[in-house]
Amino acid sequence: MTWTPSIPLSAEASAVHAAATPIDLHTDTIKFISRGYDFLAEHNPSWMVKGIGGHVDLPRLRAGNMAGLFFGIWTFPKPEVGCLAEAHRQIDALEKAAQAGAFRLCRTADEIVAARQSGEVAALCGIEGAHCLERGERSQVVVERLLSLGQRGVRYLGLLHFSRNALGAPAMGWGQDASMGLTDLGCEIVDACRDAGILVDLAHINRRGFFDAVARKPGPLLVSHTGVAGVTPHWRNIDDEQVRAVADSGGVIGVIFAPRFLGQDGLDGVVAHLTHLLSVAGEDAVALGSDWDGFIRPTKGLSSPAELPNLTEALLRAGLSPTTIHKILGDNVLRLLRAVPPKLTA
């Protein structure tokens, strides 16, 4: 792998990064893998393609010393019928890639650590948008679909994506409605996640639905990929009250690498959002949720996992301690997974 840091990498940054366990809470790469993308090969996408994907592959994960990543399973919401089958098809692709040696499938923090010790990259998965559960004549049918995904290793459920579904309304997108909270089914699904050891991901949901989910007390909450409105006011970003709610639950917030949500293009934007979270939520609630391969053009200096050491350097320059940096890079995610172990088996 030929990679040149976009900023000079100090000996201290190299050592801090080498000792870290970097974990990304959200990439969309599985959609590409399920359609033939060669995850084992190193890719160098053109400028045009970089606005869509081609950001993540095994060689660049290794170059960036990545310990693990979550693959976000997402489906087109229209038509809704068939979304569940597509979600299972993406999990099939994930299992096939693991068998080919791309990564080790994991569910727990201990499994991630074991994969790291054996020189493997850990792969976990979550659902982005509960429309993939499809609507059912009875709520128990929808709950059973959720549990079927949990049995296959799904660790988090994003209640919303860019469209309204049977659980609630998005912050922006088709069917957006700021006055709409969680539906009765939405409340039931949040409760089912708590009982099954599936994390509730509040990325993309509107503000009222967000706090309806908080009120259900599902345990430590997750916002897998977001910016913060305290730095950049934007419909996609969560405000400080939401940040504190996640922190108070013992949860974790992953900062996205998309310039349009960061408010600027470059490492300074990522650092600004991370340090704002540190000031509002404390160092135990902050993590990374790149959204690589999510139809974004990543911010300069973090175009792929190979460039992640740039962020370690930038955080050191911002005055953060190695301990805090390690928490941001991955230790907080490990803590979250230990706090919410999976309760379903295959």
Quote the tokens at residue 81: 């019928």
* pLDDT confidence of residue 6: 64
Instruction: Dump pLDDT digits (tens) for 271-294.
Output: 999 999 999 999 999 999 999 999
Q: How far apart are CA 208 and CA 159, in angstroms?
A: 13
**Percentage of the residues of the chain whose pLDDT score is greater than 70:** 98
Q: For the full predicted model, state whether its pTM sits above 0.75.
A: yes
Instruction: Dump pLDDT digits (tens) for 221-255.
Output: 999 999 999 999 999 999 999 999 999 999 999 99
* pLDDT confidence of residue 2: 46
Q: How far apart are CA 69 and CA 30, in angstroms?
A: 11
Residue 172 has pLDDT above 90, yes or no: yes
Instruction: Dump pLDDT digits (tens) for 253-268.
Output: 999 999 999 999 999 9
Residue 1 has pLDDT above 50, yes or no: no
Residue 97 has pLDDT above 80, yes or no: yes
CA angle 145, 147, 149 (to 5 degrees): 75
Domains along the chain with CATH numbers? 11-339 (3.20.20.140)
DSSP 245-296: HHHHTT-EEEEP--HHHHSSSSHHHHHHHHHHHHHHH-TTSEEE---BTSS-
Q: Is 113 exposed, middle or buried (0-12, 13-18, 19+ CB in 10 A)?
A: middle
3-class DSSP assignment, residue 102: coil
The residue written with tokens 């309806």 in the block is: 212
Q: Which residues does residue 69 pair with via DSSP β-bridges, in sequence order? A: 24, 123
Q: How far apart are CA 15 and CA 340, in angstroms?
A: 30
Please, are residues 122 and 61 in contact by the beta-carbon 8 Å criterion? no
